[in-house]
A and B are shown apart, each in its own frame.
Chain A
Amino acid sequence: MTNAVLTGLMLGGMYALIAMGLTLQYGVARIMNLSYGEFLVAAAFASYWLFTGWALSPLLGLTLVIPLSFGVSYALYRVLLTPLVRRARTRDALEVESILATFGMMFIVQGIMLAMFGGAYYSYSFLAIPVQLLGESLALNRLMAFGLAVVIGLALYLALTRTRIGTSIRAVAVDPAAAQLVAINVAQTSALAFALGGALVATAGVLISMFLTFSASSGVVFTMKALIIVVMGGVGNLLGCLVAGLLLGLSEALVATYVDPGLTLAVNFALFLTVLLIKPAGLFGRAQR
């Protein structure tokens, strides 16, 4: 039991980590970023490259990758997505247009990665050491990814609820028109949220690359997973993201251990559907926005 719960928590933490960036990008900036998974894989490649080419530990690599991805995402929003934001009459229209734009972006990012790294699988070992916790051996790299997911999640939650800028981000998520009326710079805040999301997904990519095998084509898996978690937790809600991620991870591990590993996907989707049936806006979502 301990083992299944621990494995589930760590898997769930990873899921939450994967999805947190998307909840900011989709929930606040209203950009349904279909190239989300590609950015995650790009960060994994960056980490791989730094680790194998420069012997730079992924944890140190984070200090390079996070600011870089923040900058890139910010620039992307400013240059590529702002025209869409200006043109869109409603938020729903923006969602549709951002789907099209980021769908194209997905191919570009994937193409660049294919050109640089080819289609092969990549994997490296970092901190793949067993550690004992409650009498069970767990991989240190997974444990660390989980720990960081929790720390990042809580830090962001506090930042969003306790700081002025966090409050304005939440205001934009709830109602951008009204936010504008109280002198919040919506464009600026959206760009910030999008860039923050970009930095988060890159963090997830670096951490995940320590224990998952990836290739230039594996982005879509992460986009799908993130999307499910974001919708399940309530769009734009960080806490919901964390809870939904943990819920999925736990249920997967418990089902794999006590029922059948073959049913993990089925349980994932059953859980997703149940949540949507009971709370259509997600676990922590508001029915009206």
Chain B
Amino acid sequence: MVSPVTRLAAGVLAIAGAAVFGANDAAQAQTSVKIGYAISRTGPNAGGAAVSTIPNYDLWVKEVNAAGGLKLGDKRVPIEIVQYDDRSSAEEAARALERLISQDKVDFILSPWGTGLNLAVGPILNKAGYPHLAATAVTDRAPELAKRWPNSFWLLGTSADASKTLVELLVKLRTEGKIGDTVAMASIADGFGIDLSAAARPALTAAKFKLVYDKTYPIGTQDLGPIVNEAKGLNPDVFIAFSYPPDTLGITEQSRIAGFNPKVFYTGVGTAFPLFRQKFGANAEGVMGIGGWSGDSPAIKDYLARHKAASANGAEPDRWASAVTYASLQMLQQAIERVGKIDRAAVINDLQTGTFDTVIGKIKLENNMPTKYWWVGQWQGGEFYGVGPAANEGARSAVVPKPAWKAQ
């Protein structure tokens, strides 16, 4: 006769035992690939993360799992996601990643959004030996960082390169007689704007452009009217704003209202967002901005369609970092599948040396960085095409002068 209590205890033991053995089984035969990330769901970075990063992570995981999972050897293993909100704070991102590594024991980690957070988590990922595919970070220290942290890959390039490409394009337009040599430049007094304007200043001077206006404005400025009005008064051939999304929209709107229509009108982050076209419609035409993609390439068209189909409200990706982010995931997937097992050192090695087929074309990294980037894009016929560097495959020629603003 077994008492109910004993039976209960035996039952509990059996369940506990099964759990322990089950866990052991799981460790031996990989039943899922655990991938973790901390992303800014809230805080000031949330706007960028929601456009460029989160939809791509979701899309990729959905697609891979729909195909049965990642191919490890001769079988497919589904992806299991562990995610946290880093609340746009470097400390929070660091804590979340420590947790992903030590407690959740994830196999791979996807990068957070933005330059600041990628710099913040770099040392942690390097120390733990995880590949770090920074797809949304622009920093001049990228080549140096790639050396210091051999596991880190800086896919969006350096701000000096961004400014240099823009100036090269301006030089070309001047040689063609399409623009004169006066430039007005406004920049946001925050990481990105400071870097880009600091690189553009000497590049413009070296190319013998006259910088007639060069002012910075603080982050969170709510009325960009004074900047636009003063720039308009100087009647420059080129207007450059190294701006963040809210000011990109604000500056464009103000310029339209003030009737400020220089031959080249260039704005910063956010120009490549679908929101830009949605807000300005036909007035987006001819506006240049940072980023761009080969809008005519079948791979991009296919990616655009899949992105739209996957998101709940048919949201489109931005025409710069989104495609790069998605390509970074394809690179990670191809590296993992080529290695055929969860071996992070081998995956890092494959990322350093392999060639990858992605939506933005074939990628082979040199010194942990791609060799080609889109730096200047332009809205042409409702699509944000890459126009610089002009040597890139699929580059369109820039439409200059920019067409006049239309009354809405």
**Count of chain A residues with Cβ under 8 Å from any Cβ of B?**
41
Set of chain B residues within 8 Å of A3, measured between Cβ atoms: 225, 229
A128–B406 alpha-carbon span in the complex (Å): 12
Stretch among B154-162, B249-257, B335-343 lining the A interface? B249-257
A189 is an interface residue with CB less than 8 A from chain B: no
Distance to closest chain A CB from B287 (angstroms): 15
A11–B407 alpha-carbon span in the complex (Å): 24
Set of chain B residues within 8 Å of A213, measured between Cβ atoms: 245-246, 249-250
Contact B245 A121 (CB under 8 A): yes
B191 is an interface residue with CB less than 8 A from chain A: no
B189 is an interface residue with CB less than 8 A from chain A: yes
A214–B280 alpha-carbon span in the complex (Å): 16
B218 is an interface residue with CB less than 8 A from chain A: yes
Set of chain A residues within 8 Å of B215, measured between Cβ atoms: 260-262
Set of chain B residues within 8 Å of A249, measured between Cβ atoms: 223
Contact B223 A7 (CB under 8 A): yes
- CB under 8 Å from chain B, chain A span 210-243: 211-218, 221
Contact A261 B227 (CB under 8 A): yes
Q: Given A121-B47, A264-B217, answer yes or no on A138-B279 (Cβ-Cβ < 8 Å).
A: no
A127–B32 alpha-carbon span in the complex (Å): 53
Chain A 250-267: CB-based contact to B (< 8 A → 1; otherwise 0): 001100110011101100
Contact B229 A7 (CB under 8 A): yes
A216–B221 alpha-carbon span in the complex (Å): 18
A4–B47 alpha-carbon span in the complex (Å): 31
A211–B254 alpha-carbon span in the complex (Å): 10
Contact A121 B51 (CB under 8 A): yes
**A252 to B, closest residue via Cβ:** B223
Chain A 115-145: CB-based contact to B (< 8 A → 1; otherwise 0): 0001111111100111000000111000000
Counting chain B CB atoms within 10 Å of each CB, the highest count among A4, A123, A124 belongs to A123
B259 is an interface residue with CB less than 8 A from chain A: yes
Chain A 58-76: CB-based contact to B (< 8 A → 1; otherwise 0): 0000000000000000000
Contact B46 A264 (CB under 8 A): no
Contact B226 A120 (CB under 8 A): no
- CB under 8 Å from chain B, chain A span 8-66: 10-11, 14
Set of chain B residues within 8 Å of A214, measured between Cβ atoms: 246
Residue in contact with A212 in the complex, picked from B49, B186, B250, CB distance below 8 Å: B250
Q: Given A119-B40, A120-B47, A121-B246, answer yes or no on A264-B221 (Cβ-Cβ < 8 Å).
A: yes
Chain B 95-138: CB-based contact to A (< 8 A → 1; otherwise 0): 00000000000000000000000000000000000000000000
Contact A262 B280 (CB under 8 A): no
Distance to closest chain A CB from B269 (angstroms): 11
B367 is an interface residue with CB less than 8 A from chain A: no
Set of chain B residues within 8 Å of A221, measured between Cβ atoms: 220
Set of chain A residues within 8 Å of B254, measured between Cβ atoms: 139
B178 is an interface residue with CB less than 8 A from chain A: no
A119–B55 alpha-carbon span in the complex (Å): 11
Q: Which 6 A-B pairs have the closest CB atoms?
A: A119-B46, A256-B226, A119-B50, A120-B50, A261-B217, A213-B246
Known contacts A121-B51, A215-B47, A264-B217; 9 further A-B pairs (Cβ under 8 A): A120-B46, A130-B256, A211-B253, A213-B250, A217-B88, A221-B220, A253-B223, A257-B230, A261-B217
A-binding residues in B (CB < 8 A): 40-44, 46-47, 49-51, 54, 88, 186, 189, 215-218, 220-223, 225-227, 229-230, 245-246, 249-250, 253-254, 256-259, 270, 273, 275, 279-280, 315, 407-408
B-binding residues in A (CB < 8 A): 3-4, 7, 10-11, 14, 110, 114, 118-125, 128-130, 137-139, 211-218, 221, 249, 252-253, 256-257, 260-262, 264-265
Between-chain CB contacts (< 8 Å), 14 pairs = A3-B229, A114-B41, A120-B47, A121-B245, A121-B246, A129-B408, A130-B256, A216-B46, A217-B46, A256-B226, A261-B227, A262-B215, A262-B218, A265-B218
